[in-house]
Structure 1
Amino acid sequence: MVSGPLVLASGSAARRAMLADAGLVFTVQTSDVDEAALKTPGADPAELACRLAEAKALAVSASMPGAWVIGGDQTLAFDGGLISKARSLDEARQRLSQMRGRSHTLHSGAALVRDGAVVWSGVETATMVMRDISDPFLDTYLATEGEALLACVGAYRLEGLGAQLFDRVDGDYFTVLGLPLWSLLAALRRAGAIAS
């Protein structure tokens, strides 16, 4: 028997779309977690994605007793460091220029929390192999996608024109979009949060 409301503790449009497309009925309540405070120097990117997801879900759970709260976050590891979201289109252009012809890694973490306790958390990884894009294509891409790219850790959306940036992706499509969806759905079923 399914018990308690389902809440997504993330403002990500991609995460909302994934859960809605999977048939889940939920509300959205974003958290005010200080992500920068959790991004300590030398932090493992995969562990950090999971820790951020847990922190967001725990923060929302504190004010929503009985709710099943889903937290999600994503980190990008490139060239030995952790990359944050670009603050401007100029910064996005610089980052994409650095990544072209090279690979980087996305880590998507998720957590399921109820009444202040982590019921499940997990992380999945995808390796993105970017093609050696030309400057004219990059200019067109940035002009077409615009400031929406600033909400994406890699300054691209694979579900849009960003698909043309890549030669290959090794990993799950949903992981690239920002959630380890299959593992999350299994955890929700095990917990009785959605019908099995």
Structure 2
Amino acid sequence: MSQSDIILASGSESRRNLLLSAGVEAVCVKPNVDEEAAKATFRAEGMRVADQAMRLAELKAVKVSRSREGLVIGGDQMLNLEGEAMDKPVDMADAANHLRRFSGKAHTLETAIVVAEGGQPVWRHLAKPKLTVRPLSDAFISSYLEQSGEDVLKTVGAYQLERLGAQLFSRIEGDYFSILGLPLLPLLDYLRTRGFLEA
């Protein structure tokens, strides 16, 4: 087995770059899963936020692994604010509303990863980093969004921790990689047990 057999079922540059920085070269294949329809179904069923993230990660991994040989990694991240799943902001005004809702509160990033092989899930992991947002003034929110630009619309929390988003928080519990969207350390450990990486 070699790294050429590792496939990332995602178009996420962030996840691909995290793997690459850790020495794992994965082929990226977009899973073409209708995430909005899936989330609507999950929410209509009253599914917990963490379970929604895990199911979406599994859908992506399994779909790609049905047509590609190798180990397929699917991931998903959902923001859990007091039991409610928050989606990516649709525009800058929505991003400002998100930040006002987060202000002074803690939220959890339900960060799920599933590895599939031959159309079946073979490994899964859920990380739950908890981030506490400091009280934010409207002036700060406006300035932050102006400086950050529309990149914030690509992220579920309207922030990128590795950039200006660091200024939003008073406390962070959990590992950095999971906050960025990939529980990297457990995944690397699994890849070692499977012989894809040296032990």
- Both proteins in one fold, TM over 0.5: yes
2:165 to 154, 162, 166: 162
Any conservation in 2 of the 1:4–1:68 contact (CA below 8 Å)?
Answer: no
2:141 to 131, 138, 142: 138
1:190 aligns with 2:169: no
- Show structure 2 runs of 5+ residues with no match: none
2:101 to 98, 102, 122: 98
Moved more, 125-134 or 5-14: 5-14
2:74 to 62, 71, 75: 71
SS in 2 for 1:153: coil
Cα distance in 2 for partners of 1:36, 1:165 equals: 28
- How far residue 126 of structure 1 moved from its aligned partner, in angstroms, is 0.9
SS in 1 for 2:62: helix
Any conservation in 2 of the 1:70–1:110 contact (CA below 8 Å)?
Answer: yes
Matching residue of 1:43: 47
- How far residue 161 of structure 1 moved from its aligned partner, in angstroms, is 0.4
- How far residue 3 of structure 1 moved from its aligned partner, in angstroms, is 6.8
Moved more, 46-55 or 34-43: 34-43
SS in 2 for 1:25: coil
Any conservation in 2 of the 1:79–1:104 contact (CA below 8 Å)?
Answer: yes
2:79 maps to amino acid:
L
Question: Share of identical aligned residues, percent?
Answer: 42
Q: Please, what is the CA RMSD of the aligned residues?
A: 1.4
The count of aligned residue pairs is 195
Cα distance in 1 for partners of 2:102, 2:25 equals: 37
Any conservation in 1 of the 2:3–2:24 contact (CA below 8 Å)?
Answer: no
Larger RCO, structures 1/2 (Cα 8 Å, 6+ apart): 1
Matching residue of 1:62: 66
TM score, norm. by length of structure 2: 0.92
SS in 1 for 2:179: helix
Cα distance in 2 for partners of 1:79, 1:46 equals: 12
